[in-house]
Amino acid sequence: MGKTYHLEDIIKSRTFRFERLVLEDIDNSPVFRFHSPEISDQETCLFHRDISHGDSYFEILHNFIEKGLKDRRTAPIVRFADGEYAFYENDLSCNGLYKQAESVEAIQKATPLHIEALKVLAESGKITPLIYPGNTQHEKKGFFSFLRKPKGDNSASKFVDFLFNNNIELNRDSYLPFYVVYAYLTSKSFASLVDGRKICIVNSECNMDSCIKWFERLFSHPDITFAEIPDSYVATRWETMKEDILNRIPPDTELCLVGAGIGALLVCVDVAHKFSIPALDAGHVLNMMNDYEDKSNGPRLYTTWKL
């Protein structure tokens, strides 16, 4: 018998499907020109059967954050992509743009903490993985399979297996598409929501003038503070730095934007829990706000809005 993949199961059961993520007023063509047209494959993502359109996911995220602000509710939102997928496979290729793990042993030691955080995230927040046809392909087994190289990869499928094998389900309430977070954080809707609010940027660096100007261009004036975090190994050393960093966040903070690589899961979950607020894994968008877009190797999908 062949291996059963949980992603295939939830698609075969019609709980989820693949569909192109269309968001009104988003224009990805500048990103295609900068990188390559092939990146358009990532526009196709996982949709729950109850969700008919990409704008519905955008609205779900907006309402979730708005309620978290209004009710002072724990609301972590964390993205997962190639780096995280490698990390949970004990693969040191997770060390891409930033240093994430010192060794395989360090990953293995930290993994139980990540699993517990993922369970909390599934219950109180949103898991937002990058899942598209190109990273869910499995090598076909057969008599001549050794002659054929597999196309794409199956890293996202393995991540879904990792979740389900640890009793963490993707469902309508726990899941959002990866790029909806980028689209929302770069939108006028988000800028308007945080206008006048106290937000804290939790990142290794912060160009405050650039961040202020970023929001001003969207006619928003949040009260921004900065809590510095190490630029490496947060994913494996969070327990040793946790209290110090949490104490740097002003107690009246209403929302946090986090940049911590693979460690963003642990940071967002603990920040959201301690302060009863939304804590968003902002990643590339923080680079945009800080005028450091080059650190992300150029623009990303769903961050270019039509004027």
Instruction: State pLDDT tens for residues 2-40.
Output: 465 899 999 999 999 999 999 989 999 988 888 888 889
Residue at 1 is within a domain: no
Distance in angstroms (rounded) separating the CA atoms of residues 276 and 68: 8
Residue at 301 is within a domain: no
Total structural domains within the chain: 1
How would you classify residue 90: left for phi > 0, otherwise alpha for psi between -120 and 50, otherwise beta?
left
Residue at 110 is within a domain: yes
What is the Cβ-side half-sphere exposure of residue 274, based on CA atoms within 13 angstroms?
19
Instruction: State pLDDT tens for residues 164-182.
Output: 999 999 999 999 999 999 9
Q: What is the mean pLDDT of the chain?
A: 91
Instruction: State pLDDT tens for residues 82-98.
Output: 999 999 999 999 997 78
Distance in angstroms (rounded) separating the CA atoms of residues 45 and 134: 10
Q: Please state the rounded mean pLDDT for residues 100-115.
A: 96
**Contact between residue 136 and residue 156 where contact means Cβ atoms under 8 Å apart:** yes
Residue at 307 is within a domain: no
**Does the pTM exceed 0.95?**
no
Residue at 129 is within a domain: yes
Residue at 304 is within a domain: no
Q: With 70 as the cut, is the pLDDT of residue 121 above it?
A: yes
Instruction: State pLDDT tens for residues 290-303.
Output: 987 766 677 899 99
Q: With 70 as the cut, is the pLDDT of residue 151 above it?
A: no
Residue where the block lists tokens 């804290």: 200
Percent of the chain with pLDDT over 70: 93
The domain containing residue 33 runs over which residues?
6-296
Residue at 127 is within a domain: yes
Residue at 197 is within a domain: yes
